[in-house]
Amino acid sequence: MAAEAKQTCYEGSSVQSFQFYLEQSGEHKAILQCVHSILPGEFKRIGAGKSDLSVLGVGSGGGELDVQMLSLLQSSFPAVPITADIVEGSSQLTANFKALVAKTTNLQKTPFAWHIMNSEDYEEEVKSKGDMKRFDFIHMVQMLYYVDNLGKTIKFYHSLLKNNGRLMIIIEAAGGGWDTLWKTYKKELCVDAITEYRSSAEVVACLKSQGLKYEEHTIHNAFDITECFDPNSATGERLLNFMTAKDHFYQSFTQEIRAGMLDLLRNKCSTEKDGRVFFNSNLSCILVYA
């Protein structure tokens, strides 16, 4: 990627904001439920008859989900050696991931190759070397918002799949709360790391245009954003910061835009129950066939 390219990988305040969001949103718990219900069957198909297995995680962050998926794969094929490659440009999150691996007993024998760079640089590096390592399972969880070119990225990672392999993409669901917020306020929000908001709709359109075979599963999730409507709530502001990708929600938008966003969040992106407001953060899990 060119030197002047935008910085999309999380460092500093983005890392803290993301970790706060994970604590508040229950997102990993919802994803893990899906992983545990879908992946055992997928892994059986992927690994059938193979003498070694290779996994690639792209935009893996702190690796909380990777560690679970690798453990699941290992328990499906206890006698088969597994390698893990990770493409993640955030040095802070990679350090967290390494620390997590160090304390995960069953992964001590799994070799990890750490590619601390963004996906675009990895793609360039692999193509220039010409010897592409191929993978049985590639996953991209909540990261496709940040890549320069969606179609090119999907095509590249799909080309790295081994026979019978799967590419798993997890992304916000079409028509969900995030999709509604970011598309309604595109002009105000799509200005920094994310220049074009993508949900499962854009990914599915791209897979169709490339003629790739896939299946899609909905991951249901909702989280309490009631505090966002209290201007004195620090929790509310921190959630709004992450949801709008800003460091300071109240200083980043005019009073009119803020009021419009809050109204949209309450009335178009959420449901109310027992006086609490629950934001619709359904995700889509898309499994692309080799």
Residues that bind ligand SAM in the complex, under the rule CB under 6 A: 8-10, 18, 58-61, 64-65, 87-90, 93, 118-120, 141-143, 146-147
Residue 119, judged by CB atoms within 10 A of its CB (0-12, 13-18, 19+), counts as: buried
- Shortest distance, position 29 Cβ to ligand SAM, whole Å: 12
Give 9 or 265: the residue with its C-beta nearer to ligand SAM. 9
- Shortest distance, position 8 Cβ to ligand SAM, whole Å: 3
Identity at 17, one-letter amino acid code: S
Give 21 or 214: the residue with its C-beta nearer to ligand SAM. 21
- Shortest distance, position 61 Cβ to ligand SAM, whole Å: 3
Beta carbons within 10 angstroms of residue 196's beta carbon: 11
| Residue 19 DSSP SS3 | helix
- Shortest distance, position 200 Cβ to ligand SAM, whole Å: 15
Pick from 190, 184, 189: nearest CA to 260: 184
Give 2 or 48: the residue with its C-beta nearer to ligand SAM. 2
User: Which residue of the chain is nearest ligand SAM when measured via CB?
Assistant: 61
User: Do 288 and 170 meet the contact criterion of CB atoms below 8 Å apart?
Assistant: no
DSSP string for residues in 125-161: HHHHH-----EEEEEEES-TTS-S-HHHHHHHHHHTE
DSSP string for residues in 17-54: HHHHHHHHH-HHHHHHHHHHHHHHHHHHHHHTT-S-EE
- Segment holding 270, helix H or strand E: strand 270-273
Residue 8 DSSP one-character state: -
- Shortest distance, position 195 Cβ to ligand SAM, whole Å: 12
- Shortest distance, position 171 Cβ to ligand SAM, whole Å: 10
